[in-house]
A and B are shown apart, each in its own frame.
Chain A
């Protein structure tokens, strides 16, 4: 049982490039989330999903897209990367959306130069 797996762990992008951050969970959780964490800041919700085929915007969705074709996978797509997207990205999952324990992946540190 690996929990929540994120890849890659580190990535450097040039301005204008695109990439996909991968997230997979093997706990059969319906709810999945993408957060970003800037230095010295709390986590801000980018997108979330309540199940396969259902996604919705969080607090800071601009510049990102998501899809959820299976229960296990919840990739985050960055289009036309900008320096403001330099951050650490965390994927998380939970059994329900009622606010109980979030299981986090190990994070992806992204730099856009």
Chain B
């Protein structure tokens, strides 16, 4: 099975900072990566699919990029409501595995 890793496992940044974190697949998966946001105590939400396509209603400060094995999620200007854990998911063939997550909080 293809494994997904994420780095860093956690980060702390200031409001307004540009924040980038990464997801890596153990084998090439083209652009079959999605990103989810899970705020503390809440249900996960789909943010991005096809590595870079924003899901409906997602703020434009979120962006994704990558192809093959390396993917990034960027928040251009961190907001307090962005405090959450972010998970990547690969969806090229079952199992549609999630990464372990990156936890983002505010300094």
The answer to whether A binds B is no
Interface residues of B (CB under 8 A from A): none
Interface residues of A (CB under 8 A from B): none
